[in-house]
């Protein structure tokens, strides 16, 4: 019996196979590299957005407390902000609460006193101390000793605040930066490029 | 035998392509979902948080405008507001293209020694939160710490504030109040305090020139006794009261001369610090002085005198009080007036002069005299005799002309010294000579060319009826 020869069943030549394998490897390599890069890029964007949201949160916290503050001071390195705000809500242990525990959690009625700088509105006899500071990767807000982490990121979030005093008021100018994952133009430039700025004025007459 | 020829190679390629697209799509979709959630936060929740404060402050401004009307336009103050239990309430109103809502309430919480009320303004502003009805994925900062929702409290289904603290935040009236759509509400409390007429040694809205090169402005407090100079002695117990000889000018045209122990403020001026000014200098302090109107609280005038053309002595039939003084209406004041107390009691007298003042006045000890005038003043410094030496006991008030283009004039010429105050926001004030002055002046423009020694009494900043209101306190209920 004689086998019928069919040209349609012919295999690839060695050369064809090598060329195909080479091309396939290149295409597969490119696809994998692209995929990894794409994933990295997506991850970087996602991370950038996440940290950016935390920047805004820091700014909003600072803004809220400065506006209702009575006096603000900043440290020499501009990374610690200390402010005094009125004691608007009666807390447990306050003199009014000792006399009448039902007052805990209620707003105080303001009082007026005459001081060397003129008439002054007070909420209670004491004030609340609020401090913003950096601890490792976390940004902390400490209110009368109670610490709250308001932002935390491995992207090295750094808020800086300057405090400018005017005749009766003052304002703070803050900038929050972080170090994004992708750095190409040098770390300083990359950090500067992430800056979010805010300026907040005291609504109250500055004390001190 | 024939070998079956299979042509399925193309399907493998298609499958590979589809899988690749699927993987990339899944990656992209997950990233997109995360990003959209965060975008939702950034664009909607953050915006709602900020806009709700804008709304609350707008409500505060609306209420503040009504408080100002209690002096500037009493007839229409709180018109359209409801009043119950001592509280004026403005129902919620919606405004702006983002449908912000605000409402406010106003009540009096304090009366000062002049009888002027201090108002507490409570305002809340609400902004809708658009987008997905969820908190953000950035919310959890740690095992027990929240992130965004600890700062920005969003009412998704119920008003959390009313549910937890009650509508007034005092724990009463707690209720589950559904909200029609997610929203953020912020609440602020403001205090509007009366502005007293004499807050500075000199205050003018127009041009300022003065004083002489050898002049001096300092301050003291009559609560500590008579004036003596101590502005250069930090160890003096009254040093802290000696450097409030402030000058406030709502104009860029200001020539400050002489030694000034106090602060200087202008509106766009170019005053620079020098050894002649000991306090702060702020060239960006605009302010307004509303026209002064005759108070509506006067009772019926005494029957006599009705004019002062010769030598006239007023001895009132009663002592009166700071809030209800004995009132006289004078059509002319060209003579010599002496005002005596009622017995030994502190006596309070008000005059309304409907014409110019060109005469002299002598205010005895134990008398506080306020002179309201419609016309102009032309006097010599020696013709204002204030026997107590306390400037608060001789107060002049210039009633602003109904024609806003009309200007009053006050001309004080030598010789002599005086202790008095002038509140005349529509008057051009001219001070000639070198008088020794204890008091304060509020005017439209000021010109003084003499080497005057001017002593502002810090106690004056609590004297006189309110002429306007300002916001002096701001707190936010952050719960």
Determine phi and psi for B338, rounding to 5 degrees: -120, 135
Domain check: are A100 and A177 in the same one?
A: no
* Domain final position from A125, A146, A180: A125
The answer, for A152 touching chain B at a CB cutoff of 8 Å, is yes
State yes or no: pLDDT of B4 exceeds 70.
no
The answer, for A67 touching chain B at a CB cutoff of 8 Å, is yes
Q: Is A20 a domain residue? A: yes
Contact (Cβ atoms closer than 8 angstroms) between residue B445 and residue B428: yes
In this prediction the ipTM stands at 0.84
Contact B478 A64 (CB under 8 A): yes
CA B66 – CA B61 distance, rounded (Å): 9
Q: Is A144 a domain residue? A: yes
Domain check: are A191 and A143 in the same one?
A: yes
Helix orientation angle between B46-72 and A14-67, rounded to the nearest 10 degrees: 20
Question: In chain B, which residue's Cα lies nearest the Cα of A110?
Answer: B109
* Domain final position from A103, A125, A147: A125
State yes or no: pLDDT of B3 exceeds 70.
no
Q: Is A6 a domain residue? A: no
Query: What residues 171-200 of chain A have any CB closer than 8 A to a CB of chain B?
Result: none
Question: In chain A, which residue's Cα lies nearest the Cα of B26?
Answer: A39
- Give pLDDT, residue A1: 55
- Using pLDDT thresholds of 50, 70 and 90, give the confidence band for residue A16: confident
Q: What average pLDDT does this structure show over B263-268?
A: 91
| Residue range of the domain that includes A49 | 13-87+127-201
Domain check: are A82 and A141 in the same one?
A: yes
Output A28 or B12, whichever has higher pLDDT.
Answer: A28
β-strands B87-95, B100-111 pairing: antiparallel
Domain check: are A55 and A138 in the same one?
A: yes
Contact (Cβ atoms closer than 8 angstroms) between residue B423 and residue B416: no
Domain check: are A96 and A174 in the same one?
A: no
Residue B285: list chain A partners with CB under 8 A: 167
Q: What average pLDDT does this structure show over B312-322?
A: 93
Q: What is the pLDDT of residues B406-442, one digit of tens each?
A: 889 999 999 999 999 999 999 999 999 999 999 999 9
Domain check: are A81 and A102 in the same one?
A: no
Contact A150 B23 (CB under 8 A): no
* Domain final position from A74, A107, A125: A125
Q: Is A23 a domain residue? A: yes
How close is the nearest chain B Cα to the Cα of A205, in Å?
7
Domain check: are A92 and A165 in the same one?
A: no
Token pair, residue A158, equals 């750094």
Query: What residues 115-144 of chain A have any CB closer than 8 A to a CB of chain B?
Result: 116, 118-119, 121, 123
Q: Is A188 a domain residue? A: yes
Q: Is A3 a domain residue? A: no
Contact B148 A46 (CB under 8 A): no
How close is the nearest chain B Cα to the Cα of A130, in Å?
14
Determine phi and psi for A139, rounding to 5 degrees: -105, 125
Separation of CA B368 from chain center? 27
- Of A142-156, B8-22, B379-393, the range with the lowest mean pLDDT is B8-22
State yes or no: pLDDT of B253 exceeds 90.
no
Q: What is the pLDDT of residues B344-363, one digit of tens each?
A: 999 999 999 999 999 999 99
Domain check: are A180 and A145 in the same one?
A: yes
The answer, for B457 touching chain A at a CB cutoff of 8 Å, is no
CA B416 – CA B432 distance, rounded (Å): 11
Separation of CA B176 from chain center? 38
Contact B41 A53 (CB under 8 A): yes
User: Of the candidates B197, B172, B169, which has an alpha carbon nearest to the alpha carbon of residue B185?
Assistant: B169
CA A199 – CA B83 distance, rounded (Å): 38
The answer, for B294 touching chain A at a CB cutoff of 8 Å, is no
> A34-48, A141-155, B292-306, B379-393: which has the highest mean pLDDT?
B379-393
Number of domains in chain A: 2
Token pair, residue A34, equals 């692209």
- Give pLDDT, residue B49: 93
The vertex-B126 CA angle with B124 and B131, nearest 5°, equals: 160
Count of pairs with CB atoms under 8 A, one residue in A, one in B: 128
How close is the nearest chain A Cα to the Cα of B428, in Å?
27
Q: Is the pTM of this model over 0.90?
A: no
- Give pLDDT, residue B461: 85
Domain check: are A171 and A196 in the same one?
A: yes
Domain check: are A109 and A26 in the same one?
A: no
Question: CA torsion sign, B191 to B195 to B196 to B201?
Answer: positive
Q: Is A45 a domain residue? A: yes
Domain check: are A30 and A96 in the same one?
A: no
Contact (Cβ atoms closer than 8 angstroms) between residue B320 and residue B347: yes
The answer, for A53 touching chain B at a CB cutoff of 8 Å, is yes
Q: Is A39 a domain residue? A: yes
Domain ranges for chain B, please list them.
Answer: 40-195+471-477, 202-465
B293-297: long-range contacts (C-beta < 8 A, 24 or more apart)? Answer: B293/B72, B293/B399, B293/B400, B294/B352, B294/B372, B294/B399, B295/B372, B295/B465, B296/B74, B297/B323
- Give pLDDT, residue A119: 81
Domain check: are A17 and A92 in the same one?
A: no
Coil, helix or strand at residue B280: coil
The answer, for B462 touching chain A at a CB cutoff of 8 Å, is yes
How close is the nearest chain A Cα to the Cα of B35, in Å?
6
């Amino acid at each position: 019996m004689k086998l019928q020869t069919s040209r349609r069943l012919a295999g690839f030549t060695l050369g064809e196979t090598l060329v195909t394998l080479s091309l396939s490897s290149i295409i597969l390599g490119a696809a994998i590299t692209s995929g990894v890069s794409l994933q990295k890029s997506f991850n970087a964007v996602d991370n950038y957005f996440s940290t950016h949201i935390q920047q805004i949160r820091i700014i909003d916290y600072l803004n809220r407390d400065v506006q209702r503050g009575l006096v603000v001071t900043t440290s020499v390195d501009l990374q610690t902000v200390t402010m005094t705000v009125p004691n608007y809500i009666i807390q447990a242990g306050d003199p009014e609460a000792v006399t009448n525990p039902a007052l805990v959690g209620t707003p105080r009625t303001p009082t007026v006193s005459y001081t060397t700088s003129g008439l002054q509105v007070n909420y209670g006899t004491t004030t609340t101390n609020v401090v913003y500071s950096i601890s490792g990767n976390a940004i902390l807000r400490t209110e009368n000793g109670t610490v709250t982490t308001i932002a935390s990121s491995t992207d090295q979030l750094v808020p800086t605040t300057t405090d400018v005093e005017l005749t009766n008021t003052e304002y703070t100018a803050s900038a929050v930066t972080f170090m994004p994952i992708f750095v190409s133009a040098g770390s300083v430039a990359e950090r500067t490029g992430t800056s979010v700025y805010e300026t907040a004025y005291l609504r109250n007459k500055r004390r001190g | 035998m024939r070998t079956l020829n299979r042509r399925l190679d193309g399907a493998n390629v298609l499958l590979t392509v589809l899988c690749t697209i699927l993987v990339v799509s899944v990656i992209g979709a997950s990233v997109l979902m995360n990003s959209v959630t965060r975008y939702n936060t950034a664009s909607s929740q953050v915006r709602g948080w900020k806009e709700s404060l804008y709304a609350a402050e707008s409500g505060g401004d609306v209420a503040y405008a009504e408080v100002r009307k209690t002096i500037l336009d009493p007839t229409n103050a709180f018109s359209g507001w409801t009043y119950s239990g001592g509280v004026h309430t403005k129902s919620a109103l919606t405004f702006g293209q983002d449908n912000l809502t605000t409402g406010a309430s106003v009540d009096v919480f304090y009366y000062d020694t002049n009888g002027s009320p201090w108002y507490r303004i409570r305002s809340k502003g609400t902004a809708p939160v658009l987008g997905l009805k969820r908190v953000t994925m950035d919310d959890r900062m740690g095992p027990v710490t929240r992130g965004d929702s600890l700062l920005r409290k969003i009412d998704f289904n119920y008003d959390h504030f009313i549910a937890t603290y009650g509508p007034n935040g005092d724990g009463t009236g707690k209720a589950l109040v559904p909200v029609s759509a997610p929203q953020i509400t912020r609440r602020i409390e403001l205090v509007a305090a009366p502005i007293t007429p004499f807050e500075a040694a000199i205050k003018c809205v127009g041009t300022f020139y003065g004083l002489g090169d050898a002049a001096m402005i300092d301050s003291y407090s009559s609560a500590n006794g008579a004036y003596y100079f101590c502005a250069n002695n930090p160890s003096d117990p009254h040093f802290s009261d000696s450097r409030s000889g402030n000058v406030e000018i709502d104009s860029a045209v200001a020539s400050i001369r002489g030694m000034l122990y106090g602060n200087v403020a202008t509106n766009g001026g170019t005053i620079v610090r020098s050894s002649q000014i000991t306090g702060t200098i702020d060239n960006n302090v605009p302010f307004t002085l509303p026209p002064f109107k005759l108070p509506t609280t006067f009772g019926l005038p005494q029957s006599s005198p009705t004019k002062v053309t010769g030598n006239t002595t007023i001895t009132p039939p009663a002592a009166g009080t700071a809030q209800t003084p004995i009132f006289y209406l004078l059509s002319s004041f060209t003579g010599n007036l002496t005002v005596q107390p009622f017995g030994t009691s502190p006596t309070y007298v008000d005059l309304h002069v409907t014409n110019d003042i060109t005469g002299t006045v002598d205010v005895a000890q134990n008398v506080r005299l306020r002179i309201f005038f419609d016309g102009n003043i032309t006097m010599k410094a020696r013709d204002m005799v204030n026997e107590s030496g306390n400037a608060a006991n001789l107060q002049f008030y210039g009633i602003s002309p109904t024609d806003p283009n009309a200007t009053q004039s006050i001309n004080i010429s030598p010789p002599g010294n005086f202790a008095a105050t002038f509140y005349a926001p529509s008057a051009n004030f001219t001070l000639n000579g070198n008088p020794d002055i204890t008091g304060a002046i509020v005017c439209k423009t000021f010109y003084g060319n003499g080497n005057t020694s001017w002593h502002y009494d810090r106690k004056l900043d609590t004297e006189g009826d309110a002429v306007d209101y300002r916001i002096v306190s701001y707190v936010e209920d952050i719960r």
